[in-house]
Amino acid sequence: MSTSMELTAAAPAVPAVADNGVWLACIECDETFAPFAEIRYTCDHCDGLLEVRYADPPTFDDFEGQGVWRYAAALPFDEGVSLPEGDTPLHHVPRLEEEIGIKRLRVKHEGMNPTGAFKDRGMTVGVRVAQELGVGRLACASTGNTSAALAAYGARGGMETLVLLPAGKVASGKIAQAALHDARILEVDGNFDDCLDIVQELAMAGEVYLLNSLNPFRLEGQKTIGLEILEEFMTDHGTYPDRIILPVGNAGNTAALYKCFRELVQSGALDPADVPKLTGVQAEGAAPMVEAIEEGNETIRRWPDVETIATAIRIGNPVNAPKALPGIRATGGTAISVSDEEITDAHRALAGEGVGVEPASATSIAGLRKLRDHGVVGADEQVVCLTTGHLLKDPEAAFEAGNDPESVPDDAEAVLDHISE
Ligand SMILES: *Cc1c(COP(=O)(O)O)cnc(C)c1O
Ligand SMILES: [Zn+2]
């Protein structure tokens, strides 16, 4: 394992540490900041991304209880506004495992969180931080799922919520959630990246508290996906998975999983040789991360025009790339893109195992298939694929990929005739 697995987490000499041994650090210049004294999303000095650091990184013995807050020892608080979230199933999918031809395949279905996507894990922590900061209005740009989670957790926490969505590009289930949980919904004539630019300006002007994954506290909650996978895989199989494959949009989850592993390595809880290979999958029409990995670039090139049926990852400027690219490289993982047709095939294949997901989620399985075909993933590998959102998020895509309803007369005999045709 390369040295980039290490976190420089000696507490800073300047007292930027909060009471609970937490501080913020710039990933580019290492400047440190007190976490809750004022609102800050990026480094004052170099504009770099911030990450949360701890005086005592967690070990597995520190964890107790259920859901995301089981992992309080890895989080900046002991509890938060909870619906509750986490504890999602790790499905066995025997037909897919055999068809793809690997030793072991498990599907971690994050669509089983309270609002139907993994965003809830980050939001429970992010809204707790918003309470600490005393802010009243929460906001995000979203391809849909962040807005649903923000609206629900904001409602539970008694806060006002504002969401910016790319007009006509958000699946209906997600807008329905944001609407009913009482978010103010602004539809922007632009794509997700444009929405994020605008909401960042509103945040910088102090109008709203930003809860996109640019907010480093969101990623803290999302680390718990990795903690659950490691604990459950070890309990069930006496080992850790060789590889975790996940859909990539803003690359927040990729960054969060990498951070989860680094903290465990740092505390001595995880052997660097046991760190799963982080493997990201994007849609062909929105694949700046894949491009950077394939070309060996340090930074991503922003794609101005993006298109895919996987609307949740229809993103051309993944803000967490500076955190995620090193994670893919340091763990020996890779990144691959898949076509909309390959996504739809995987969408159906998962449904055929009883696992109902939205299109973006199916990219992990589509990517695994392709990597296995190319011989990048070996037959002896144990793999966990992340499915990020629930089938009901995007009913239109499900209708499109699934069977058409058939009209029949109101008559049993005619129905019998019809089904025996
Ligand atoms: C947000 C989201 C993603 C992208 O996750 P990132 O952390 O931004 O890479 C993928 N799938 C679904 C369903 C999502 O809601
Ligand atoms: Zn900096």
CA distances from 21 to 27, 223, 394 (A): 18, 18, 41
151: phi > 0 → left, psi -120 to 50 → alpha, else beta; which?
A: alpha
Q: Which ligand is nearest to the CA of 335?
A: 1
CA distance 256 to 320: 10
Ligand 1, from 88, 253, 355: best to mutate by most atoms within 8 Å of Cβ? Answer: 253
Strand partners, 280: 246, 335
Give the model confidence (pLDDT) of 278-317 as tens digits.
999 999 999 999 999 999 999 999 999 999 999 999 999 9
Give the model confidence (pLDDT) of 81-138 as tens digits.
999 999 999 999 999 999 999 999 999 999 999 999 999 999 999 999 999 999 989 9
How far, in Å, is the centroid of ligand 1 from the Cα of 86? 16
The three-state DSSP-derived secondary structure of 3-27 is: HHHCCCCCCCCCCCCCCCCEEEEEC
Ligand 1, from 388, 392, 394: best to mutate by most atoms within 8 Å of Cβ? Answer: 388
Atom 2 of ligand 1: nearest residue by CA position: 312
CA distance 336 to 294: 9
Compute the average pLDDT of residues 366-393: 98
Q: Which ligand is nearest to the CA of 254?
A: 1
Q: Which ligand is nearest to the CA of 222?
A: 1
Domains in the chain: ranges and CATH: 90-116+219-401 (3.40.50.1100), 119-214 (3.40.50.1100)
117 lines ligand 1 (CB under 6 A): yes
CB 255 within 8 Å of CB 102? no
CA distance 39 to 132: 11
Please tell me the predicted confidence (pLDDT) of residue 421. 87
DSSP letter for 71, please: G
Does the pLDDT at position 13 exceed 80?
Answer: no
How far, in Å, is the centroid of ligand 2 from the Cα of 206? 21
Give the model confidence (pLDDT) of 28-48 as tens digits.
999 999 999 999 999 999 999
Compute the average pLDDT of residues 66-80: 97
Please identify, by atom number, the ligand 1 atom nearest to the C-alpha of residue 388.
13
List the one residue out of 178, 140, 108 whose CA is nearest residue 350.
108
253 lines ligand 1 (CB under 6 A): yes
CA distances from 116 to 2, 111, 264, 420 (A): 36, 4, 28, 38
